[in-house]
Amino acid sequence: MHQLTLAEIARGLADKKFSSEELTKVLLARIAQLDPQLNSFISLTEDLALQQAKAADARRANGESGALLGAPIAHKDLFCTQGIRTSCGSKMLDNFKAPYDATVVAKLAAAGAVTLGKTNMDEFAMGSANESSYYGPVKNPWNQECVPGGSSGGSAAAVAARLLPAATATDTGGSIRQPAAFTNLTGLKPTYGRVSRWGMIAYASSLDQGGPLARTAEDCAILLQGMAGFDPQDSTSIDEPVPDYSAGLNGSLQGLRIGVPKEYFSAGLDPRIADLVMASVEELKKLGAVVKEISLPNMQHAIPAYYVIAPAEASSNLSRFDGVRFGYRCEDPKNLEDLYKRSRGEGFGPEVQRRIMVGAYALSAGYYDAYYLKAQKIRRLIKNDFMAAFNEVDIILGPTTPNPAWKLGAKNNDPVSEYLEDVYTITANLAGLPGLSMPAGFVDGLPVGVQLLAPYFQEGRLLNVAHQYQLNTDWHTRTPTGF
Least distance (Å) from ligand GLN to the CB of residue 83?
Answer: 26
Residues 186-225 within binding reach of ligand GLN (CB under 6 A): 203
Pick the binder of ligand GLN from 372, 422, 459, 460 (CB under 6 A): 422
Pick the binder of ligand GLN from 20, 81, 103, 151 (CB under 6 A): 151
If the CB atoms of residues 75 and 162 are measured against ligand GLN, the closer one turns out to be: 75
If the CB atoms of residues 31 and 308 are measured against ligand GLN, the closer one turns out to be: 308
Residue 264 one-letter amino acid: Y
Q: Does residue number 451 form part of the binding site for ligand GLN (CB under 6 A)?
A: no
Pick the binder of ligand GLN from 68, 88, 126, 260 (CB under 6 A): 126
Pick the binder of ligand GLN from 42, 71, 78, 125 (CB under 6 A): 125
- Residue pair 142/98 in contact (Cβ under 8 Å)? The answer is no
If the CB atoms of residues 57 and 131 are measured against ligand GLN, the closer one turns out to be: 131
Q: Does residue number 119 form part of the binding site for ligand GLN (CB under 6 A)?
A: no
Distance CA 446, CA 273 (A): 11
If the CB atoms of residues 126 and 181 are measured against ligand GLN, the closer one turns out to be: 126
Region near ligand GLN per CB under 6 A, out of 27-35, 166-174, 340-348, 358-366? 166-174
- Residue pair 356/322 in contact (Cβ under 8 Å)? The answer is no
Q: Does residue number 127 form part of the binding site for ligand GLN (CB under 6 A)?
A: yes
- Show the site string, 24-63: x = touches ligand GLN by CB under 6 A, - = not: ----------------------------------------
Least distance (Å) from ligand GLN to the CB of residue 177?
Answer: 9
If the CB atoms of residues 41 and 203 are measured against ligand GLN, the closer one turns out to be: 203
If the CB atoms of residues 125 and 450 are measured against ligand GLN, the closer one turns out to be: 125
- Show the site string, 275-314: x = touches ligand GLN by CB under 6 A, - = not: -----------------------------------x----
Label residue 249 exposed, middle or buried (CB < 10 Å: 0-12, 13-18, 19+): buried
Q: Which residues are designated catalytic? A: 76, 151, 175
What angle in degrees, to the nearest 10, is found between the helix axes of 217-227 and 103-110?
110
Pick the binder of ligand GLN from 72, 165, 174, 399 (CB under 6 A): 174
Least distance (Å) from ligand GLN to the CB of residue 31?
Answer: 24
Distances in Å between the Cα of 238 and the Cα atoms of 135, 247, 383 are 35, 22, 18
- Show the site string, 70-109: x = touches ligand GLN by CB under 6 A, - = not: ----------------------------------------
Least distance (Å) from ligand GLN to the CB of residue 172?
Answer: 4
Least distance (Å) from ligand GLN to the CB of residue 175?
Answer: 3
Pick the binder of ligand GLN from 115, 128, 196, 427 (CB under 6 A): 128
Residues in contact with ligand GLN by the rule CB under 6 A: 125-128, 151, 171-175, 203, 310, 422
